[in-house]
Chain A
Amino acid sequence: MNQAQAETFLSRELRMLDQRKFRDWRQLLTDDAIYWVPNGDADGDPQQHCSIVYATPPMVEDRLQRAESPFYWVGDPPIRSVHTVSNVLLERADGDSADIACNQVIYLYRENDQRRDQVLDTLPAQCEYRLRRQGDDWQIAYKKVALLNSDGLVPLLPPII
Chain B
Amino acid sequence: MAPPTSPRAEAAPPRAASPRAASFGEDAAGLGRARAAAFTAPALILVAVFLVFPALWTLYLGTTDYRLTGIAASDPRFVGADNYRDVLGDGEFHRSLWLTLQFVVGSAVVGQTLLGFAIAWVMRDRSGPVRRLVEGLVLLAWILPSSVIAFLWIALLDRDGGTLNALLGTPGTAWLLDHPMACVVVFNVWRGTAFSMMLYGAALGNVPPSHLETARLAGASTWQTLRDAVLPRIRGHVLTSLLLVSLWTFNDFTPFLITAGGPDGRSEIMSVYVYRTALGDGRLGFGAAISLLMILINLVIALVYLRVLRSRRAPGNAGEAAA
Instruction: Please determine whether chains A and B interact with each other in the same assembly.
Output: no
A-side residues, CB < 8 A to B, are: none
